[in-house]
A and B are shown apart, each in its own frame.
Chain A
Amino acid sequence: MPRVTELNVNGAARRVNASSERSLLSVLRDDLDLTGAKYGCGEGQCGACTVLLEGEAVRSCITPVSRAAGKRITTIEGLENDGRLHPLQEAFLETGAMQCGYCTPGMIMSGVSLLSKSAHPSESEIAHGMQGNVCRCGTYPRIVAAVRIAAKRRAS
């Protein structure tokens, strides 16, 4: 069985030794101890496991690790830059867009991906773009507000 031996995670080459069909989520969490991405459903329906592959949001629970090999992987742990939070992380704090926080890393990664494709998303574009992420605590209105604030900040 072919194995994946290296991943490019948050700007660094990381040694791994994983069979290629394993999920990217389990390799990130169990082998690299990057536990920010969460298991929520195992079928790509909740978005808690969202990470970026070449800047694009993917559901890491249904992404085989082989698909991520050789690509830039960004997890929630890699968003901070020199101790400074990403504008969307700041906006989540400002709007209080979380309760239990379990969906938060996936929400932020989906939001970052959305903002990279659409600089000024409308409320309905945000709702559409984030439809695959579930927050059971129901903080959706605040998450929409956070994405809008981050978009505005980036523009100014």
Chain B
Amino acid sequence: MTSELTRRDFLSALGGGVVVLCVVEAADAQESGRRARRGDAQPQEISAWLHIGEDGVVTAYTGKTEVGQNIRTSLSQAVAEELHVPVGSIRMLMADTDLVPYDMGTFGSRTTPTMAPQLRKAAAAAREALIDLAASQWNADRAAVQVWDGKITGTGRSAGLGELTHGQQLVRKIGPEVTLTPATEWKIAGQSIPKVDGRDLVTGKHRYSSDVQREGMLHGKVLRPVAYGAKLASFDDAGAKQIPGVTVVREGEFAAVAAPDAESAEKALSALKAQWKTEEGQPSDSQLFAYLKANAEAGEDRQAHGSIEQGMADAERKLSQSYTVAYIAHTPLEPRAAVAEWAGDKLTVWTGTQRPFGVREELAGAFGIPQERIRVIVPDTGSGYGGKHSGECAIEAARLAKFAGKPVKLVWTREEEFKWGYVRPAGVIEITSGVRNDGRITAWEFHNYNSGSSGAQITYDIPNHRIMFHPSKSPLKQGSYRGLAATANHFARESHMDEIAQSVNLDPLEFRLRNLKDERQRAVLMAAAEKFGWGKQKAAEGRGFGLAIGFEKGSYLAACAEVAVEGGRPKIVRVVESFECGAVVNPDHLRNQIEGSIVMAIGGALFEQIRFENGRMVNPRLSQYRVPRFSDIPLIEAVLVDRKDLPSAGAGETPIVGLAPAVANAIFQATGKRPRSLPMAV
């Protein structure tokens, strides 16, 4: 909602019942509510709301998007927990910019720590409002009234949740003061509730963006340049226009076609004759890491303590090493897709994005129209992994639809998704360390070039440390990714830890424990080591064991891996990963995220790599870009460390960071050769 007026309009459209508005302070709104803008005088923002209709239907409204991380279920649990109703009676209305409050986007594992508590507060306030209503209408003592299992009961009377408002709309605003049920007393949250929309997924009924159909809809195709930075030198659409029903659009560098069916659109696209002026001499993957270093900025400290000089002076052994990670692609199985429809000057777009309001802003910019005239609807999406923050496809579909005067569906091909989305940043990481012979690390200097600083911080107790991030010039368009740079930084740090451990002849587990005070970090490390049986036996010939720890976005983890190397090829045999993210909201879904993250991590660890030459991606197909498949999967054991005394952190990303370093350390133990580049098996 962009103004009080539209909020009022919306409230009147809701009709009778109880409405609870979640008010957050402007500072929090930066993250979860509306972004503060110039001229934005409101100190508080609505971040979510909840409506209980007179039909008893409970609807929770949030701008968050479901991309497979299971928040449709976990947020339903949050509401059900506080409202004391069954999970199945809650409808989550998500990511429709006309109907839900502003939200920055679904990224950074923020849904569980920020949106879930807000919805829980709304639900708790709604419950209390219903008790107030019942007490006053029944002339009953408030303490004698309760809401339980979807009913309001007390003094021998009972009513459904929607039966007390009698055509009136009771609006309550709540702030941070509402008390929530502690995790130790959770009845619905904390349980392995199955996916609330599971049946629609196994029957194929759920409509993703790419499945949306509209009356009179055309299918679009976009003409892509032959290389990055190429400009149209000549363009001839005569042949394409001869195909019946085809519309051709050419606006500057944007050239595209729309046709009544996908086949005609494809024919029209191949009938376009274009010549391109290319930019030659662009960097290739073989020069990538030198290029990133050469173009790096001075950078800034992300974490620093003590004096590196002093730490190195105190050291008995010193080590400097460099590690690299390649660009990789998210490869969401549903590529970017959008259906755009204009009704007069009002635009509606269905699209799979993690940032519905961000895409609305992009559309407003592209068409020079106010955001109020644009509605972005995000059906639950065929995954994102951080790769669907942007609105290119939505803008292209809307351009075509505007020109053609009809709704247009645009589904990017897999090749387009590889080439014209964005990739996880590649990076170079340099670490210099000093250690005493007793295994105490005295100095830790860490530089990340280009890939980012997330997950670079240390939980080790090192008196002198300095962690720096140096942004660089990226040859490829890069962006967010599940855990972003945390995988790279964990790979480098935990590999380096093993290298130091080896230099002082200490077992990797013992060495880490000597440098760890952080109790949560130690607890997950011991949980994984015990489950794995670390130190109980030696690896068989040709096999190795490796371990790694991690901390990022409020979660702690440890991973142990067993790897067999046959004919130079690593095969991951077994992985144990312990994970602690505070109070566990849904144990089975948390396990699913951990297992899935480990599987996804195998790709980046062993074989995924974007190859490119002179502004052209070399392997933009699934037949050329290897992703993990059934036969790559090891035995995976997830160990949940449930801390009901701590707030819940998001867990869709961080479980991905431990696999690569654990595997690298296992490969070293198996072969004596240390991998210092991801992917390791190429």
Contact = CB atoms under 8 A, between A and B. Distances in A.
Interface of A: 19, 22, 26, 29-30, 33-43, 45-46, 48, 75-77, 79-80, 85, 89, 92-93, 96, 98-105, 108, 126-128, 130-131, 133-144
Interface in B179-216: 194-195, 198-208, 210-211, 213
Q: Is chain B's interface secondary structure helix, strand, loop, or mixed overall?
A: loop
Given A30-B219, A99-B69, A127 B630 contact: yes
A-B pairs, top 6 by smallest CB distance, nearest first, are: A36-B204, A138-B599, A100-B68, A102-B382, A101-B201, A138-B596
B194 A46 contact: no
A126 B630 CA distance: 8
Contacts of A34: 204
Interface in B115-164: none
B622 A45 contact: yes
Contacts of A126: 630
B482 to A, nearest CB: 10
Nearest to B198: A93
B383 A136 contact: yes
B65 to A, nearest CB: 11
A41 B69 contact: no
A41 B68 CA distance: 19
A contact patch SS? loop
Given A35-B207, A100-B67, A127-B633, A138 B597 contact: yes
B202 A22 contact: no
Contact of B599 (A19, A127, A140): A140
B240 to A, nearest CB: 18
A29 B208 CA distance: 12
Contacts of B263: 19, 22, 26
Contacts of A79: 203
Nearest to A26: B262
B334 A38 contact: yes
A89 to B, nearest CB: 4
B201 A104 contact: yes
A135 B199 CA distance: 18
A93 B202 contact: yes
Contact of A103 (B195, B213, B333, B413): B333
Interface string B211-230: 10100000100000000000
Contacts of B211: 29, 35
A76 B203 contact: yes
Interface in B64-79: 67-70
Contacts of A92: 198, 202
B206 A101 contact: yes
Nearest to A144: B630
A79 B381 CA distance: 23
Q: Place the interface of chain B in its size category.
A: 35 or more
Interface in B10-36: none
A80 B204 CA distance: 11
A99 B194 contact: no
B598 interface: yes
B622 A46 contact: yes
B589 interface: yes
B394 to A, nearest CB: 18
B412 to A, nearest CB: 10
Given A99-B68, A136-B332, A43 B633 contact: no
B522 interface: no
Given A96-B194, A131-B631, A134-B627, A36 B203 contact: yes
B551 to A, nearest CB: 22
B261 interface: yes
Contacts of A140: 599, 628-630, 633
A37 B334 CA distance: 12
Contacts of A89: 202-203
Interface in B585-621: 588-589, 592-593, 595-600, 621
Q: Which of B200, B383, B385 has the most A CB atoms < 10 Å from its CB?
A: B383
Interface string B366-408: 0000000000000011110100000000000000000000000
Contacts of B333: 38, 40, 46, 48, 100, 102-103, 134-136
A98 B195 contact: yes
A102 B66 CA distance: 12
B202 A108 contact: yes
Contact of A136 (B204, B206, B600): B600
A40 B633 CA distance: 21
A125 B107 CA distance: 37
B232 interface: no
A137 B600 contact: yes
Given A93-B202, A130-B630, A99 B383 contact: yes
Contact of B204 (A46, A77, A96): A77
